[in-house]
Chains A and B, each alone.
Chain A
Amino acid sequence: MIFLFIGLPLVVAAFMPLIGKVSKKVAPDVLANAVFLFLLVLAVTSGRQLIGQGPVLQSLSWLGEPLAIQIAVDGFSLFMLMAISLVTFCIGLYSINYMTHYGSKANFYALLLMMVAGMNGLVLVTDLFQLYIFLEVAAVASYALVAFGLEHDELEAAFKYLMLSVVASAAILIAIGLLFGLTGSLGFAAVGDALRGLDAKLAVGFCAALFIMGFGLKAALVPFHAWLPDAHPSAPAPISAVLSGLLIKVSGVYALARIFYNVFGLEAGGALSQALMILGAISIVVAAFLAIRQSDMKRMLAYSSISQVGYVVLGIGIGTPLGVAGGLLHLFNHALAKGLLFLNSGAIQQSTGTRNLDEMGGLAKRMPVTAATSLVGSLSIAGVPPLGGFWSKLLIIMALVQAGHGVLAVVAVLASVVTLWYYLIMQRKAFFGKLNEKWAAVKEAPFWMSAATVLLALLVIGSGIFFAAIIKSWIQPASESLAKGLQTALHGLGGF
């Protein structure tokens, strides 16, 4: 059952080129969206019962012969699966209209499905090396998707992204190799156990530093962020939404949190926790100030992604249950809201042909749906109550105060004021004020694009109103499994 999260997108992607030969647009649209819908339903309905009794470890068998394919689901991975399915479903709907003018839709969906398969795999594996492989699956697909427009900007961005990303993968793989040498195994639980019985602080610290560098590059935390403001804006809008909304969190934050909590055993107040918190705080502040100066709408959103991922890392780095819950809730809220905002920017770019905020103005009159949904997204990220982003930032700040990090709490509050400021600048320049005469004939986005943005906006509002229910049913199991790890399920099983 759970293997469908990896297998289904993989198989459908493999047949996509054939399907694209038969019908260039309709069949790929229908099929890809059906897959996304199916995965969403699967994640929301079946997952919860499955892990009702705690983490589940599944092995596959082939013709009665057990295979050594093990995947594990616990609260944390289920939460990520849900976030991935939710955002990709909306992206799929949006792409029906948006990707038409790029041509070769079958190929686009094939790559998108591969990226989803890679992210789902990354979330489900129980082994360090397999984590690396699925990281690369998602990454290879994302390089091609960033360059999908094949214009100068896209190619330049994709090349820079690829170059920094391969350095990141190399750092990650070396750390994995060293851990393999120290402990003789690769499974999360087995390595974690072995490390506890081993006095090798120096070597483990070195591995942790390599992981921070590698996953920090993937998550674009501040000293490692240079590629993101190029790569995310250059990609087609739905891909920007997936990259900013999901990929940096799955291949950066999820992997980092999983390894630090379940393998190294992060403790509140320890060195690992402090390193994460400092990185998070620097990202929040630096990226927020860089965002203010941008006049390109998508670039502003990209810098905002760096800043918001900083909040997620800050929350997870605190190491207390409240902090982890706040970080994960913010991850979810940011995935929805930033996905929404990038889709909005794509709608504007398609209607007006520009991303420059200075050329826009008064678009609310011509594109009411886009304007309204983008206002919702902006306010949520900026942390205005009662939208989702407010609650998650509140939780993070409360956790900071509770753990005695008053200074960081003040920083987080002040940075969220800056966030509100640049989002208001964006709203004012794009949607309010006098309508620029150039845009008198501009039309609202086509049906599926509007449908996707409205759906996401409703989800953003819903996640604010029902935040208590979300915390109880999704976030708490996730943060508990981070604290406890996969050990209980994997003991004795995760040999290699």
Chain B
Amino acid sequence: MSETWLIYLGFAAALLAVGLYTLLTMRNVIKLFIGFEVVSKGVSLVLLSTGFARTHILLAQSLVITFIVVEVSLVATALALIINIYRQTNSLDVRGLTKLKG
């Protein structure tokens, strides 16, 4: 089964690469967060396809559900932060966030 596992991992790696590229290059804070969402899709794909290819699907399923719960909690916190930042700076540009340096 290790062959099918690698195929899924290859696709997951592509998702991770797209997400990381966004996180590294984009400027809009919401865009950055979409990048994070893409990364977490890659992560849940890694977890579930691992379970599928290695016949531990039930266990992997419960891991993915827990991961989704964690993700929601993170997204809520992050979006609350973004709204607060917007209220302060009136912009979503990450380049406005360069006050701290040194």
Q: Which of A143, A150, A170 has the most CB of B within 10 A?
A: A170
The residue that A144 contacts in the complex, of B42, B54, B77, B82, with Cβ under 8 A, is B77
Mark out the residues of chain B between 37 and 68 whose CB falls within 8 Å of any chain A CB in the assembled complex. 39-40, 42-43, 46-47, 50-51, 53-54, 56, 59-60, 63, 66-67
For the complex, what is the distance from the CA of A420 to the CA of B28, rounded to whole Å? 42
**B19 CB to nearest A CB, Å:** 8
For the complex, what is the distance from the CA of A156 to the CA of B60, rounded to whole Å? 36
Residue B25 at the chain A interface, CB threshold 8 Å: no
Given known A150-B84, A159-B97, A174-B46, contact A129–B16 (CB-CB < 8 A): no
Decide: B67 and A173 in contact? CB cutoff 8 A. yes
Task: Please name all residues of chain B whose beta carbon is closer than 8 Å to the beta carbon of A229 when the two chains form the complex.
Answer: 100, 102
Decide: B56 and A167 in contact? CB cutoff 8 A. no
Decide: B46 and A293 in contact? CB cutoff 8 A. no
Instruction: Tell me the dominant secondary structure on chain A's binding face.
Output: helix
For the complex, what is the distance from the CA of A174 to the CA of B49, rounded to whole Å? 12
For the complex, what is the distance from the CA of A151 to the CA of B77, rounded to whole Å? 16
Smallest Cβ-Cβ distance to B55: which chain A residue: A184
For the complex, what is the distance from the CA of A229 to the CA of B54, rounded to whole Å? 43
Residue A147 at the chain B interface, CB threshold 8 Å: yes
17 contacts between A and B (CB under 8 A): A143-B77, A155-B88, A156-B85, A160-B97, A163-B32, A166-B36, A167-B20, A170-B40, A173-B46, A174-B16, A180-B51, A180-B56, A181-B54, A184-B54, A229-B100, A230-B100, A296-B102
Binding site for A on B (CB under 8 A): 5, 16, 20, 23, 29, 32, 36, 39-40, 42-43, 46-47, 50-51, 53-54, 56, 59-60, 63, 66-67, 70, 73-74, 77-78, 81-82, 84-85, 88-89, 97, 99-100, 102
Closest 10 CB pairs of A and B: A181-B50, A177-B46, A156-B97, A230-B100, A177-B47, A155-B85, A136-B70, A152-B88, A170-B39, A173-B43
Binding site for B on A (CB under 8 A): 129, 133, 136, 140, 143-144, 147, 150-153, 155-160, 162-163, 166-167, 170, 173-174, 177-178, 180-181, 184, 186, 229-230, 234, 293-294, 296, 299, 496
